[in-house]
Structure 1
Amino acid sequence: MNTFLRRRTGPTVRYLLLAVVAFIALLPTYVMFTGAFKTQADFLRSPFGLPLSPTLAGFGRVWSAQFPTWFSNSVIVTGASVILTIAIAALAAWGFANWNFPGKSTLLAVIISLMVIPPVVLLIPLFQMGAQLGWISTFQLLIVIYIGLMLPFSIFMLTNFFSTVPSSMLEAAKVDGASSWTTFVRIVLPLSKAPMATLAIVNVLWAWNELLLALVLMQSNDKKTLMIGLTGFQSRYSLDIPTVMAGMAIATLPLLVVYLFGQRSFIQGLTAGAIKGE
């Protein structure tokens, strides 16, 4: 009887704990999105209540500022850096996983070790490099730096996955006369949709939310990214809570959309290659 009770109460406690953690994690998001549709008086009266008289005034004030420019800048920087990172990482990872050359393990270890270097340590050298190139307040500088920071983890993740592709499949393609490039494009890449989707989501989340480098390197107002603009926006409208909530909701919405549409591939990518041959 005691064993039966332990078996029944064990999952119940776990589910209850997960429900509590989910509630705590989602509560700020709920307050943000509901607060964006309230007036200042409604929010102060009931911060956690539903908007009884929804209004889009906060979104109107947000969009009349420089938010469209900041938003488009973030889309350009994030999109370009993530796409190029995945393309470069896929090619490099295929080389590490499929080719044998002197110093391969050492080079891969050096690349992996770069993941532990915090961006703040590189801030001054990167600024000096950008100034010498005349690239301060340009998209290309931020994109190149983001690619460099995202590549180590991307190469590491894809190398691990490519190493689990069954060798029999690669040998069969080689017997059929397929070159290494053809095997990579027609066999390996189609099998890598899940890990690449996972990598894309992780990199999008990082690049979209990155603030420190963008704040220092993007000094022109028309080149600021959304996170920089949102920082100043919160100071400007600190007393207008619904407007601040509307701005934060607009900044958060693309990330929610990316994750909701890619969550299945994200979960598959986390477990892809866990077993040899999968």
Structure 2
Amino acid sequence: MTAAVATFDNAPVVERRQRDWVLIGLWIALVLVAIVWIAPFIFIIFTSLKSTAQVMNSSAFAPPTEPQFSNYAAAWARGRFSTTFFNSAIITVIKVPLGLFISAMAAYALAKIEFKGNKLLLLLILFGTMIPFQVMLAPLFTLVNGLHLIDTYPGVILPYMAFGIPYQVFILHGFFRGIPKELSEAARIDGASHFVIFWRIFLPVTLPVLAALLILDFVSTWNEFAMALVLLQDQKMWTLPLGLSAFQGQFSRDYGQLNSAIVMTVLPATIVYLIFQRYFVSGLTSGAVKG
């Protein structure tokens, strides 16, 4: 009897030790994955601060002995990144908020307004998420060229929105469906229109999801290359990825300036991610709507 009790008392200890070993294994795996992801960024940053001679005569992950901050100014001037940065900023700042707003309104209408054919319309919109945009580049160029929008901001913004909105509607539609209908019904009884309900009730509740979609949409728009390459043929309208590709082709042996250009290209997207990630996490942990 005493042995049985002792065995029973030791069971939680054994289980706790097994759980601790599992957690230790997970932490080790996470650390290894983090090292694999961080190592290329460390290499790029260190190389961007080295001269060509330092790059050739030192280890790839050795910190620069004499940081060459002039690489950034030289790369900015030689690559004409002021023009490409401005173009990317205009396209992204217009496309991302406008696309999210349209997606949110469309998702609200499909989720909360009953009308004939809304399910069919949702399926048609979701069909856009199943089409790889690579197979649409040729007909897309023909369409944009027929509208005389080649080498224009609308000629890039509109296709970006067309391929981005279906995915956003899919995510937001599922979120709106989970919000209790009593919220909108009470507002409708008080005489509020659907736009007022959407703007004052549903949009604030959706801020965590919108923050996540904003991060994803900003990064994908900022780094988009293939569609911009087809639709923007004038160098004065090039975006940052196109400018970086041209810079790499011209100055591929100037490793310091090339890596400086890479850092300047990815830095805005990294800053936006770090800013909105904080609001995203706080929004997810702030609570949920109760019916």
Please classify the TM superposition score into its range, dividing by the shorter chain length. Answer: over 0.9
- Tell me, yes or no, if structure 1 residue 58 matches structure 2 residue 71: yes
- Equivalent in 97, 104, 122 of residue 108 of structure 1: 122
Q: Give the equivalent residue in structure 1 for 2:231.
A: 217
Question: TM-score normalized by structure 1?
Answer: 0.94
Question: TM-score normalized by structure 2?
Answer: 0.90
Verify the 8 A CA contact 1:196 1:269 in the aligned structure 2: no
State the shift of 1:22 in Å.
0.7
- Equivalent in 44, 49, 54 of residue 42 of structure 1: 54
Q: Give the equivalent residue in structure 1 for 2:5.
A: none
Q: Percent of counterpart pairs with the same letter?
A: 33
State the shift of 1:270 in Å.
7.5
| Separation of aligned partners in 2, 1:257 and 1:164 | 31
Q: Give the equivalent residue in structure 2 for 1:3.
A: 15
Query: How does 1:94-105 map onto structure 2 within 5 Å?
Result: 94-105=108-119
- Equivalent in 256, 259, 262 of residue 242 of structure 1: 256
| Separation of aligned partners in 2, 1:82 and 1:257 | 16
Provide the secondary structure at the position in 1 that maps to 2:104.
Answer: helix
Query: How does 1:120-139 map onto structure 2 within 5 Å?
Result: 120-139=134-153
Give unpaired runs (5+ residues) of structure 2: 1-12
- Tell me, yes or no, if structure 1 residue 24 matches structure 2 residue 36: yes
State the shift of 1:101 in Å.
1.0
Verify the 8 A CA contact 1:214 1:225 in the aligned structure 2: yes
Query: How does 1:180-219 map onto structure 2 within 5 Å?
Result: 180-219=194-233
| Separation of aligned partners in 2, 1:184 and 1:139 | 29
Query: How does 1:120-159 map onto structure 2 within 5 Å?
Result: 120-159=134-173
Give unpaired runs (5+ residues) of structure 1: none
RMSD value, Cα: 2.0
Alignment length (residue pairs)? 277
- Equivalent in 264, 267, 276 of residue 253 of structure 1: 267
State the shift of 1:63 in Å.
1.3
Provide the secondary structure at the position in 1 that maps to 2:252.
Answer: coil
State the shift of 1:137 in Å.
1.0
Verify the 8 A CA contact 1:195 1:265 in the aligned structure 2: no
Over 3 Å counting, the alpha-carbon distance change for 1:231 and 1:269 in structure 2 is: farther
Verify the 8 A CA contact 1:82 1:203 in the aligned structure 2: yes
State the shift of 1:170 in Å.
2.0
Deviates more, 1:115-124 or 1:1-10: 1-10
AA aligned opposite 1:10: V
AA aligned opposite 1:230: L
Q: Bigger radius of gyration, 1 or 2?
A: 2
Verify the 8 A CA contact 1:97 1:159 in the aligned structure 2: yes
Deviates more, 1:217-226 or 1:76-85: 76-85
| Separation of aligned partners in 1, 2:184 and 2:150 | 46
State the shift of 1:42 in Å.
1.8
Over 3 Å counting, the alpha-carbon distance change for 1:174 and 1:16 in structure 2 is: same
Provide the secondary structure at the position in 2 that maps to 1:136.
Answer: coil
